[in-house]
Amino acid sequence: MKVTLIAHTPEPEKVIAFAARRCYSALPNDELWEKVKAGDYRDFLRKLIRRGHLTPVEHASFTFAVEGVSRACLAQITRHRIASFSVQSQRYVKGFNFVVPPAVAERGKEGEFLAAMEECRRSYEKLLEFLPAEDARFVLPQAAETKFVVTMNARELLHFFSLRLCLRAQWEIRRVAEKMLELVKPLAPVVFEKAGPPCLRGPCPEGEEGCGKLEEVRSKYLG
């Protein structure tokens, strides 16, 4: 798996602070921008987020290139609808690589899994002899490897991290989320300083189905 941050809003926290100040100031835009740039807006951003005034946070966006993940992972991340996606097509790009879940090796079942993948490969390649790729791909499994580009604004990223960094989230999308957070946090440390599962900011919403590792999770993300 590889996650790369390929583009982002320059000075994202300044942009967010400017957008928020715009709501409360009569100054012309150029004067307000200079005032924001010259000041310390960190406490203002914290208050903004604490009060749930998150519309200004949407003005900062981040674009990631992701590869080496499965179609199962893709199906989950595309449920986050306030995002833009461009995905490698199985119609125009032929071939079959796959992702192996860690549980396969942990349970000593590499042979069985690889045999299943090889059967899928043979079926796919056989169908390509007389079917177009858009039809032959129907036999490919959820393990099929894919690549995509995704853009999210900072508010949607906070929501994404809240859901996908929970230990109850599926392992693969949780790894994607971890890598994305590692990339954006240095660029917007105040916005993302408490990014992570809901238990960082209050009680676990999973109730009796929670992971039971509250202190471990808080230590990991809050230090």
Tell me which residues are annotated as active site: 164
* Terminal Cα-to-Cα distance of the chain (whole angstroms): 26
- Consult the annotation and say whether 53 binds a ligand: no
- Consult the annotation and say whether 154 binds a ligand: yes
Q: Using CA atoms, how far apart are residues 86 and 171, in angstroms rounded to an integer?
A: 23
Q: Using CA atoms, how far apart are residues 184 and 182, in angstroms rounded to an integer?
A: 6
Q: Using CA atoms, how far apart are residues 145 and 69, in angstroms rounded to an integer?
A: 5
- Consult the annotation and say whether 46 binds a ligand: no
- Consult the annotation and say whether 155 binds a ligand: yes
Q: Using CA atoms, how far apart are residues 169 and 163, in angstroms rounded to an integer?
A: 7
- Consult the annotation and say whether 116 binds a ligand: no
Taking 3-state DSSP, the helix, strand and coil percentages for the chain, each rounded to the nearest 5, stand at: 50, 15, 35
- Consult the annotation and say whether 79 binds a ligand: yes
For strands 84-87 and 145-153, give the pairing. Answer: antiparallel
- Consult the annotation and say whether 121 binds a ligand: no
**Cβ contact 56:178 at 8 Å:** no
- Consult the annotation and say whether 76 binds a ligand: yes
Name the phi and psi angles at 66, rounded to 5. -120, 135
- Consult the annotation and say whether 164 binds a ligand: yes
The string of DSSP letters for 187-217 reads TSTTTTTT-S-GGGTSS-TTGGGS-S-HHHH
- Consult the annotation and say whether 80 binds a ligand: yes
- Consult the annotation and say whether 174 binds a ligand: no
- Consult the annotation and say whether 159 binds a ligand: yes
**Binding-site positions for dUMP:** 76-79, 89-91, 137, 164
**Binding-site positions for FAD:** 55, 79-81, 153-155, 159
**Binding-site positions:** 55, 76-81, 89-91, 137, 153-155, 159, 164
